[in-house]
Chains A and B, each alone.
Chain A
């Protein structure tokens, strides 16, 4: 057995920023290790989106088509970017809210707070973990879509897709931190995330294509970030999209939600258990 491979050097020997960055990746390494070892995390983040893709594509797929900007695509193919949004949110928001609430209430965060690791490194490590997991589930969904439904894999718009996935994961981490700060009970974390997200999945083009929803419902969905993540993913994935595939407007709204979430999280984040 050896000392940690990623042990921090004395702060005098390197800049604080470099040390913080190194500790972020040190922490993220162990966050990822714990994530992949946890059956519940694996199920909700990896297995469930795959299951949803297969169910929705089978139920509504067949020979149906969905109108998208520039033309029509098979419904089964439409669900690839839609369920991608769900996967990204599961990898960032849902996973983060549950595990951070549990870590806070069980004293794990409190104990870490007594060590030299900077608060920012602990927080940023979760974002790194979410981005890695989100990219993984995106890859899995793209591969399955291609294998089962002959869905295409974007080439020209691949950079836009990757950026959208990463931004989406980061934004929903910020929102997750914000929500964590108002949940006082670790047992409530799981139901609350589902209660927040399930309705949004239905009205945001994730479970049901936006083109068949009533206008007023789309207007409601447009307020919330899930719709903009799904729309940005569809733009980056849609074979009819011209140009690089960046959906500027959607990404801006997403970023705004992320900044709002971060502001709430920074004001309210607690290292100590709230329930006593």
Chain B
């Protein structure tokens, strides 16, 4: 069996996909390591699904090199498919079968399946084993999708928008389940357009926009996020005005909405220190004081909008 270099599970270089005159994927490079959760982010139409379907072996690429588990997916055979698990964006369960029957059907496809009962435990569906699959709730169906992808005991799992349309508690439960896969040593390739999902689950993220990767990194340092200025919000209690503030604070003010001030500070303590000292001396209560780093979503929106604007 072919083995990939340096524990790389997915290696992509200069991947291109053309549909007629339209180039949906315009030269992508990717490297996903064994055991990591890799999130592939991007707005609808960015080329995410096209890329994933090439990696999964559904589509033939127009150009570039792709190796998944050391094999070109365009030439992959049954033994390669036995090593991957695929959770599609939209797929109904097998009709007219129970949850356990769906899993037994799929277990039969694989040379060394994970036991059905264990798989159901893993996704939290053990108590629904005898329910008709199509009667499950949306969240439970998605768990069944994951169970069907895991029953073959894959090394690599593709998860295409696993929580789209979920309510917050179902999303939280799914995240716990996906986090649990880490302990199984499964490499996860996750596509999503929820930034909180990527932040919660992913070791590394790549942002796709207009068929190109525009940023790559950990959720914490994507696009220099860790060095970006912090935002400080608070409202001035009357009767004090902006001119009463210490000079370090005044210099940091970037926007005003009535009594509310927005400050930007590359080193937040240099502003917060004088501000707190000043407020304590005057016995002022800055009740709505808030300090925040740009969220992953802010970074993502800035990246995708900037590139969208640049191309069109």
Contact = CB atoms under 8 A, between A and B. Distances in A.
Interface residues of A, number: 36
Interface string A189-221: 000000000000000000000000000000000
Interface in A93-132: 99, 102-103, 106-108, 110-118
Interface in A53-73: none
Interface stretch (A22-30, A172-180, A246-254): A22-30
Interface stretch (A33-41, A138-146, A225-233, A236-244): A33-41
B312 interface: no
Given A4-B107, A10-B112, A111 B148 contact: yes
Interface in B117-150: 117, 120, 129, 148
Contact of B105 (A1, A9, A27, A38): A27
Interface of A (DSSP majority class): loop
Contacts of B84: 114
Nearest to B93: A108
Nearest to A27: B105
Interface residues of B, number: 38
A272 interface: yes
Contact of B97 (A5, A6, A30, A106): A30
B162 to A, nearest CB: 14
B110 A7 contact: yes
Contacts of A147: none
Contact of A2 (B91, B110, B116): B116
A17 interface: no
A2 B114 CA distance: 10
Contact of A115 (B81, B93, B101): B81
A167 interface: no
Interface in B62-117: 78-79, 81-82, 84-86, 88, 90-97, 100-101, 104-113, 115-117
Contacts of B57: 114
A110 B88 contact: yes
Contacts of A33: 96-97, 101
Interface string A1-21: 111111111110000000000
B56 interface: yes
Contact of B58 (A108, A110, A118): A110
A34 B88 contact: no
A35 B90 CA distance: 23
B307 to A, nearest CB: 26
A11 B78 contact: yes
Contacts of B92: 106-108
A22 to B, nearest CB: 9
Contact of B95 (A3, A8, A102, A272): A102
Interface core residue of A26, A38, A99, A114 (most chain B CB under 10 Å):
A114
A108 B94 contact: yes
Of A4, A5, A103, the most chain B CB neighbours within 10 A belong to A4
Given A4-B116, A116-B79, A118-B78, A30 B94 contact: yes
Contacts of A23: 108-109
A26 B104 CA distance: 10
Interface of A: 1-11, 23, 26-27, 30, 33-35, 37-38, 99, 102-103, 106-108, 110-118, 272
9 contacts: A7-B110, A30-B104, A99-B95, A107-B90, A108-B94, A112-B109, A114-B56, A116-B81, A118-B78
